[in-house]
Amino acid sequence: MHGLLSETAKITSFIDVSLIQFFQKESSYASKGYSRWFVPVSALCIHLCIGQIYAFSVFNEPLTKIIGVAEQAPDDWKLTEIGWVFTIAIFFLGASAAIFGKWVERAGPRKTMLLSALCFSSGFIISAIGVKTHEIWLMYLGSGVIGGIGLGLGYISPVSTLIKWFPDKPGMATGMAIMGFGGGAMIASPLSVKLMDYFGSEAGQGVYETFA
């Protein structure tokens, strides 16, 4: 039994050390012969994901009928209230990009993207709770503040990395990433609508399930 516990402790320690090393900036340095053209593909995929924010408008109408379902009830959120979610998210995108810019350079892309993913995904979870409890401030906090910080980190890290890999073509490198950010809505919009149609019923719009 003691031997089993000892081996388990060794394995756990090895995993912990490996994870810590994986997210260190030095671990993201490419080996000799690595093609730099893999980097734009990764950056494009990341920006396609965070570009989902531009598809948020597909949730506007369903969010105004959370209580009424078929039609807007007196206690339902107004469209002007929901519109602030996107505004707050874009504000915190810019603010976090400006504030955390130097930290991103020190931390490296892996650690930055981990934090970005945690913020972006947890923003959806908090927003889902906000929809379920019908608390608009949770929408502002989740998709607006926390999700917006995730957007900012996820936006600047790929761009910064691309510019380092393409010092001879910085404009092209930046453009490829931004193309993904703008194109994210092309994927997220129809996907979000299909998810709401799938989860929706006579009792709900399916927004909570789509967020969660």
- What span, in angstroms and rounded, lies between the C-alpha atoms of 143 and 56? 10
The string of pLDDT tens digits covering residues 94-144 is 999 999 989 998 888 888 999 999 999 999 999 999 999 999 999 999 999
What pLDDT score does 170 carry?
80
What pLDDT score does 5 carry?
46
Per-residue CA distances from 77 to 64, 84, 136, 138, 162 (Å) = 5, 12, 8, 13, 41
What pLDDT score does 67 carry?
84
- Domain-wise residue ranges, the chain: 52-211
Total Cβ atoms within 10 A of residue 150: 28
What pLDDT score does 122 carry?
95
What pLDDT score does 14 carry?
45
Query: Which tokens hold the place of 17?
Result: 């050390």
8 Å CB contact between 154 and 50: yes
CATH 3.40.30.10 holds for 52-211: no
What pLDDT score does 96 carry?
95
The string of pLDDT tens digits covering residues 164-204 is 888 888 888 788 888 888 888 899 999 999 999 998 887 78
What is the residue-averaged pLDDT of the chain?
84
What pLDDT score does 23 carry?
58
The string of pLDDT tens digits covering residues 6-30 is 545 444 554 555 556 655 655 556 6
8 Å CB contact between 185 and 56: no
